[in-house]
Amino acid sequence: MKILSLKDVRGNGAAYELCLPEGMEQWNIQSLRTYLDLPLTEARSQGFMAEPPNRLRHETLRRLVTHASSAFHRPIEFVQNGVLLDNLDAIDTSNAHTEIWMERTETTSAGNPRTLPLAASNRRAFLGCGAELVRCVDALFNFSGYAIHNRKGERIESFAEVVDDFVGSFDETNQLRLLFRLAEVVHAQPFENSSKIIAGVPFCSGWEMWGRMEQGGGGICAEKTAALKWVCDILGVPTFYAAGSQYTIPDDFEVQLKRYIVSEGAAPQPIWIQHLLLGFRVGESDYLVDVSNGNLPLLFITGDDLQRYLKSGYRARMVYNVEQMNLRRISTWAGDALLTLCEFHVPDLHFQYIFNQALGLHISSEVYIGAFFDYGGIHAARYQGHYTALAQPLRLPRPRFIRESNMHSLPDEALRNTLNKVLLALRRHYENPHYSGDFTFVVQPLNRGRILPRISRDVLKEVG
């Protein structure tokens, strides 16, 4: 099996892979475009022999190439060894590993950023690999333990049974019960960046998140919000977003965001949004949901609670401190735009989450696992002193510092294996040949107790 790697050099630098049969020496560009235009099952039935190693990731590639404007990109062009390939040209795939670059057509307009249909992309992904996504949702949902009934009183056994005419086939109580359970499921998955750095994926789409969660992985707040948004779009549930920040989110935030996108990144960046929540409507009621996990409890609020949270924000527990998180309801377009920018436009976003934003590799109510660039001497001592000093006044057990030389001291084999993989991935990802240091992990036990979910009484009455 040969590998064809398509690297998005004008976007976030992410690479997408396709496995090709051994005997395949070249691939015509027009044929590649046709292949990517087709859902995978249809592509197979038409005789295409390329296979993505990850079908859900493949849907993200399809979105980028066949609906580039939906990802705020100009149309994609392919380049091999510095040569721009037109539709009649062919990629030379004679080597075991072939890399081609995805460039942008400079002569075409970037398109109107107002016409961004994330819901349409979500539905296309479901058409492309619905069976796999249903399998993932079913594995996590536990339909046998959590009863959902349609209007005929029939008990639902699979997500596949709810996707057609969800709003028509289920009363509002069962709609809410299903969405509540899905929110619980997404929240229960870990808040982590390690699976992304190991896989080399800077940010996961909503549908990719379901595959990742089914494998035991998780993501950060925006990725988990994207996962819930994907479900709502498949079910036809109307959605909105709330953006969160330590800073006041200005009234003209969406105008700033649009300017930034129209200018293709040349205009000043809008205010940094730290947090993204999803809202949706069932019947006549709006609900706001935070499924981040980490140190944040499941939030599922409606009515006055929702209005108060939007007006005053809330106190959010971080690893070492509590921050005031201001919220602002933003349009579906703006929320979609933020997710799309994260997914396709920020190089090294997973790296930034780990280091620049100090989210580290994993946060739960029990432990924080961070990482730092460790180039020895006073620098290493400063970092160790810094983390130990943070733990001391909070009466937290003292952190452990794990590097390659003492990795064996970790008693938990699964953690040891994961950190080994992360270490290799970080070294591979940070390709600076002059870097003479390494990476050290900080394992900080947290003993401040789990915060219970924040669920409005009206929701509890419905979901039991």
Partner 1 sequence: MAPRYSKEMPGAEQVLCSGDVSGYADESWDLRISVGDAPLAEAFFFSVESLADANRSVRELLEQFALNPEREAELNVDEYPDLPFLQQELIQYFEAAKRGQFKLQVFVNHAEGKLDLDSAAITSLARCTFRNKTWDYLVLDLIFEAVNAPVDAQALSSFIARHPTLGKPDALREEAANLVTQYEKFASVSVAPCALGVPDGFDVRLQMMEFDGLDPEQCVLVGLLAEGALEWADAFESVCEALAFKTNFTSEILNELKGIENT
Give the interface with partner 1 as residue ranges (CB under 8 A). 305, 308-309, 311-312, 314-315, 317, 321-322, 376, 378, 380-382, 384-385, 388-389, 392-401, 403, 406, 445, 447-449, 451-452, 454
> Of 310, 311, 315, 336, which is closest to residue 325 (Cα–Cα)?
315
User: How crowded is residue 219: how many other Cβ atoms within 10 Å of its Cβ?
Assistant: 30
The amino acid at 333: W
Nearer to partner 1, 105 or 312 (CB): 312
Beta bridge partners of 304: none
> How far is CA 431 from each of CA 15, 199, 427, 434, rounded to the nearest angstrom?
16, 16, 7, 9
As measured in angstroms, the least distance from the Cβ of 360 to partner 1 is 17
Nearer to partner 1, 324 or 417 (CB): 324
User: How crowded is residue 339: how many other Cβ atoms within 10 Å of its Cβ?
Assistant: 22
Nearer to partner 1, 136 or 410 (CB): 410
Beta carbons of 280 and 329 less than 8 angstroms apart: no
Residues 15, 226, 334, CA angle at the centre, nearest 5°? 100
As measured in angstroms, the least distance from the Cβ of 331 to partner 1 is 23
Nearer to partner 1, 291 or 396 (CB): 396
The amino acid at 347: P
Nearer to partner 1, 255 or 322 (CB): 322
As measured in angstroms, the least distance from the Cβ of 448 to partner 1 is 5
As measured in angstroms, the least distance from the Cβ of 443 to partner 1 is 8
As measured in angstroms, the least distance from the Cβ of 198 to partner 1 is 25
As measured in angstroms, the least distance from the Cβ of 355 to partner 1 is 19
Length of the chain counted residue by residue: 464
Nearer to partner 1, 323 or 348 (CB): 323
